[in-house]
Structure 1
Amino acid sequence: MPRERASALLVDMDGVLRRWDPEVVAAVERRYDLPAGALYDTAMRWALLQPAITGQITHADWMATVVDALRVSGVDADRARAAVDEWQRYRGEVDKDVLTLIRQVRAAGIRVGLATNATDALDADLADLGLAGELDVVVNSSVLGAHKPTKEYFVEACRLVGAPPKRTLFVDDTDRAVSGARAAGLPAYRWDGPAGLPYLRAALAV
């Protein structure tokens, strides 16, 4: 449990507030005769991802580098482009349990921020998913120019959400981000699904 009662909450986007159905991308890969996992694995290569989540390139530019990487790996350019375009039309789904928690926390007077490594497509995604207005602040790495799990990111996230690190509870689904938050002085919880909701409600007294 946090050493002091948390007065702010930071939640991750992908894997926490937003879920992705793996069958959607798998179906795209099958339709375009791509190896299983090719789209995600290519896009998540750090050399391609890092410029996008730190604001050095746009989301569209990032996807263009994914197309190029697939082409270099032997995929026909037109097929690679069509597969990436179809994949990107799917923008995930909101985790209703997490959204309910966020609403309860805000109703209790506790500020909630979205703390995510994201591209310049984030605002459009939030609008498309019906999440605009559901958060007090959005801490987008591509706007900051710093990404999780760096200390710089967490310091700025706490400043934006308006609470000191020791009273800002951070929730993420990756060990690396949770470890980085703790190193920056935040109490942090490793999200692994709705079984964690009772803990979070207790930590936030909601």
Structure 2
Amino acid sequence: MTQAPTALLIDFDGVLRTFDPSINAKIEQRYGLEPGTVLDVALEWDRLQPAITGRITRSEWLATVAAALAERVGGPQRAAELMEEWVVYPGVVSPEVLQFVREVRAAGHPVCIATNSTVEFRDVLETFDLVGEFDAVANSAEIGVHKPAKEYFLAACALVDTPPARCMLVDDTDRMVRGARAAGLSAYRYTPGDDLSYPRRAFGL
């Protein structure tokens, strides 16, 4: 019989924070790029992995993106200008998801951010006034291994002092959900606008 979760691991980008793609799309179009190009280049694995495992900083990662785009946009200077504009939009925190986090904590269950991010991620929490909203932060750049590796999830569970069988991950990516389940956690695939009724019931809310 599956045990009810007693701790929540929740993804940041795509769950707690969302982005309106049209905002950066307008910037990209001004530089002659198809919408989504910058993100596609930024997420190329050989470029992304060093950033989310703490081997390079966010600035260094974004510099590699600019270098990769330079020829397409008219040179290094113009690519640097593109990236300066592209990073301005911070996205928005979902009030519904944040309320869910608060309800889980109010019910006595620890909540851990589970994110693949850069070493500067705690600055992002400060930007959104989220410091203190979570019991722990499992940032891949601090742990040194990224989702969906089993080692990552075991480290995240340890941060809230809860065995994997009693932890639930809420994430928007199938690959992460499958990885969490393989590591012994329960996991729920989030989609934008989800009312989170299933994980609410799992936590007895």
Query: Shared topology, TM-score over 0.5?
Result: yes
| 1:7-86 mapped onto 2 (5 Å cutoff) | 7-73=6-72, 75-86=74-85
Contact 2:25 2:34 in 1 (8 A): no
How do 1:1-206 and structure 2 match up within 5 A?
Answer: 3-73=2-72, 75-206=74-205
- Quote the sequence identity (%): 48
Amino acid at match of 1:66: V
What secondary structure sits across from 1:68 in the alignment? helix
Taking only aligned residues, the RMSD between alpha carbons, in angstroms, comes to 1.3
TM-superposed CA distance for 1:74, in Å, is: 5.7
- SS of the counterpart of 1:133? coil
Report how many residues are paired. 205
Q: CA deviation at 1:33?
A: 2.3
Alpha-carbon displacement from aligned partner over 1:53-84 (angstroms, at most 9, x marks no partner): 00010000000000111124464211111111
Report SS of the residue matched to 2:114.
strand
Secondary structure at 1:40 match in 2: helix
Aligned-partner Cα distance in 2 for 1:77–1:139: 35
Instruction: Report the TM-score when normalising by structure 2.
Output: 0.96
Query: Aligned-pair distance for 1:142?
Result: 0.4
For residues 55 and 88 of structure 2, the distance between their equivalents in structure 1, rounded to whole angstroms, comes to: 23
Q: Higher mean Cα deviation, 2-11 or 53-62?
A: 2-11
Q: What residue ranges of structure 2 are gaps of 5+ in the alignment?
A: none
Q: TM-score, normalised by structure 1?
A: 0.96
**What SS does the corresponding residue of 1:10 show, helix, strand or coil?**
strand
